[in-house]
Amino acid sequence: MLELHSINSYYGGSHILHDINLKIKKGAIFSVLGRNGVGKSTLLKTLVGLTSSTEGKLLLNDEDLSRQPTFARARAGIGYVPQGREIIPDFSVRENILMGCFADPKSKPVIPDLVSELFPYLMENLGRAGGLLSGGQQQQLAIARAIATNPQILLLDEPTEGIQPNIVEQIEECILTLNKELGLTIILVEQNVRFAQRVSDQFLILDNGRVVAAGMGKTLTDELVQKHLTI
Ligand SMILES: Nc1ncnc2c1ncn2[C@@H]1O[C@H](COP(=O)(O)OP(=O)(O)OP(=O)(O)O)[C@@H](O)[C@H]1O
C-alpha cells in the first residue's frame, strides 16, 4: 500500500500540489488524470523525490519515505518512467537498461529475464545507440530500465504520448502484463481516457494542483470526464 498524507509540493516558491491524500492498493492500476499543466507529472515527481520541496507524509508498506532521497525510494521499490522517456541517446540499449540495476548496489548488472520476455526487439538490438530507436522503442527501453530497478510500484508518465497507434497497443498490453501477471502496482498518468476507463482499479483527477474527483475505476464515468477533462 502506498499512502500520501497531506502532501504539498513545490518548485522553488511555486506551490503546485495542494493537500493530496491518497491510498493506492498493492496490485492496483491507479490512473492520474487532468488537463494540461494541472500537476500530474509533479505528483509522480513528488513520489520519487524530484520536486524542490515537499511537505506531508509518504508511506510505502508503512515505511516512511517522506524524507528519503530519490535513490533510496528507488531502492525501496518505486520505479519511474518519466515523461519524454529520458533515455541516454549515446548509450547502447544494453547500457540504458543496465543503468536501472544501479538502483540496488547488491544487484548484478544483468538484464532481467522479464525484459527479454517482454521486449524481443530490444534484445535483438542491444548494441544499438538508444538515440537511434523510434519513439515506441525508446518507450520500451525506458520501461525496461525501470524493470531493471526491480520495482514493486511502477510510475508511468504518459507512456503512449507521441507514439504511433499500432505501438500504443503494444505498450498498453505491456502495462497490463506487468500488472496482471507480475502483480506490479501501476501509477499511470494518461491522456487516453478510454484506456484509463478500461483498466483502472482506482483513479484521481487533478485540477490546479488539487484533487477534484477520485474513486474506484468503475466510477470514472463519461460525466466526470466531460466535466473535468474536456477542454
Ligand atoms: N521544474 C519546474 N519548475 C517550475 N514550475 C514547474 C516545473 N515543472 C512544472 N512546473 C509547473 O507546475 C505546474 C504543473 O506542471 P506538471 O508538468 O506537473 O503538469 P501536468 O499536469 O503533468 O501537465 P501536462 O499534461 O502538460 O504534462 C505547471 O504550472 C508547470 O508550469
209 ligand 1 Cβ < 6 A = no
Question: For atom 1 of ligand 1, which residue has the closest CA?
Answer: 11
Rounded Cα–Cα distance for residues 229 and 209 (Å): 14
Per-residue pLDDT, 186: 97
9 ligand 1 Cβ < 6 A = no
Which residue out of 17, 40, 207 has the highest number of ligand 1 atoms within 8 Å of its CB and is therefore the one to mutate? Answer: 40
3-state secondary structure of 203: strand
Per-residue pLDDT, 182: 85
What is the domain partition of the chain in residue ranges?
Answer: 2-228
Contact criterion met (CB below 8 Å) for 190 and 33 = yes
Q: Could you report the per-residue pLDDT of 216-231, keeping only the tens digit for each?
A: 999 999 999 899 988 7
Q: Could you report the per-residue pLDDT of 88-101, keeping only the tens digit for each?
A: 999 999 999 999 99
Q: Could you report the per-residue pLDDT of 35-67, keeping only the tens digit for each?
A: 999 999 999 999 999 999 999 999 999 999 999
Which residue out of 7, 32, 35, 42 has the highest number of ligand 1 atoms within 8 Å of its CB and is therefore the one to mutate? Answer: 42
- Sequence-ordered list of residues with C-beta below 8 angstroms from that of 60, at least 6 positions apart, any chain: 1, 2, 73, 76, 77, 78, 152, 153
Residue type for position 162: G
DSSP letter string, 61-108? TTEE-TT--HHHHHHHTEEEE-TT----TTSBHHHHHHHGGGGSTTS-
Predicted structure pTM score: 0.95
36 ligand 1 Cβ < 6 A = yes
41 ligand 1 Cβ < 6 A = yes
Q: Could you report the per-residue pLDDT of 161-180, keeping only the tens digit for each?
A: 888 888 888 889 999 999 99
* CATH placement of domain 2-228: 3.40.50.300
Question: For atom 20 of ligand 1, which residue has the closest CA?
Answer: 37
Rounding to the nearest 10 degrees, give the CA dihedral for residues 51, 19, 149, 142: -70
Residue whose C-alpha cell is 470526464: 225
* ipTM of the complex model: 0.97
- Sequence-ordered list of residues with C-beta below 8 angstroms from that of 190, at least 6 positions apart, any chain: 31, 32, 33, 158, 159, 160, 196
42 ligand 1 Cβ < 6 A = yes
Separation of CA 64 and ligand 1 centre (Å)? 26
Give the pairing of strands 153-157 and 78-81.
Answer: parallel
**14 burial type by CB count under 10 A (0-12 exposed, 13-18 middle, 19+ buried):** exposed
If we measure between CA atoms, which residue out of 4, 184, 170 comes closest to residue 80? 184
